[in-house]
Amino acid sequence: MTVSHEEIYARLTHAYGLPPNLSGRTPWELLIASVLSQSAAPKQVDDAIASLTQAAVLTPQSLEQLSDDDLTALIRPAGNSKSKSRKLKIIARFLIHEYDGSVEAMVATSQESLREKLLALKGIGPETADHILLHVAGKPTFPVSARIARVFKRHEWLEFDADYAMCQEFFSGALESDVERLVPYQVLLDRIAGDYCRTRPRCEQCPLRTLLPEQGPLEIEWA
């Protein structure tokens, strides 16, 4: 890599400022947001959480008792709602059985052990597990979504065929593993991916354009 995470972080915060602090959310809402955030914009996640709040689904127990159809309808604003509703139920049951429904008890588990437990749950992949570890449990890890990986691959900082584990290794130790900065770094990279680094990149207006390789972004077929 010819550029440091520090430099990218500096450019992102210069362009966007720091993202709003989400600490107003309860630990349970943060956990729900982690599951809903895959392939969804922050506004979609906010809308789905607002709809759950309006329906008074404020605990793992109340979510677990909802019918599959009702839950799917409530979280529809976040997209892919059938699959996400299955995941939410799995997480709610896990919390109830392992931690008596307490997110606070869950986050007190060590990083390694909690990651192992989350990955053992059906339908919970490494990206969701790492998202929960960073954004809910405040552990120093980095969830690498496909669209964030695409930014780094286009700049040839990451091999274009790097799998999830390789991408995650690439972020290991980034920003001195400082969670206070890893959280905004992840949020802002996701924003760059959504605003500019789409299937067709809009490099001309992008804050990272001066960091492109001389020949421009790597051009391959992106999903």
CA distances (Å), 189 to each of 30, 123, 144, in order? 19, 25, 10
Instruction: Point out which span in 75-83, 99-107, 126-134, 207-215 binds ligand SF4 (CB under 6 A).
Output: 207-215
Cα Rg of the chain (Å, integer): 18
DSSP annotation string for 33-99: HHHHTTT--HHHHHHHHHHHHHTT--SHHHHHHS-HHHHHHHTGGGS-HHHHHHHHHHHHHHHHHHH
Does 209 interact with ligand SF4 (rule: CB under 6 A)? yes
- Between the alpha carbon of residue 24 and those of residues 4, 21, 28, 34, the distances in Å are 31, 7, 11, 15
CA 64, 66, 69, 71 torsion-angle sign: negative
Span from 52-60, 92-100, 113-121, 147-155 in contact with ligand SF4 (CB under 6 A): 147-155
Give the nearer residue to ligand SF4 in terms of CB position, either 25 or 209: 209
Among positions 48, 103, 132, 151, the unique one binding ligand SF4 when judged by CB under 6 A: 151
Position among 87, 89, 131, 155 found at the interface with ligand SF4 (CB under 6 A): 155
Handedness of CA 155, 158, 163, 167 (dihedral sign): negative
For the bound state, the minimum distance from the C-beta of residue 144 to ligand SF4, rounded and expressed in Å, comes to 15
Instruction: Pick one of 89, 115, 147, 154: the residue that binds ligand SF4 (CB under 6 A).
Output: 154
Using rule CB under 6 A, residue 94 touches ligand SF4: no
Q: Which parts of 23-82 interact with ligand SF4 (CB under 6 A)?
A: none
Query: Which one of 22, 44, 212, 222 is in contact with ligand SF4 (CB under 6 A)?
Result: 212
Q: Letter for the amino acid at 88? A: L
- Footprint on residues 176-205 left by ligand SF4 (CB under 6 A): 192, 196-197, 201-203
Asked if 208 is part of the footprint of ligand SF4 (rule: CB under 6 A), the reply reads: yes
Shortest distance, CB of residue 58 to ligand SF4, whole angstroms? 38
When the beta carbons of 82 and 202 are compared against ligand SF4, the nearer one is: 202
Kindly report the CA angle at 202 between 197 and 206, in degrees rounded to 5? 80
Footprint on this chain of ligand SF4 (rule: CB under 6 A): 151, 154-155, 192, 196-197, 201-203, 206, 208-209, 212, 217
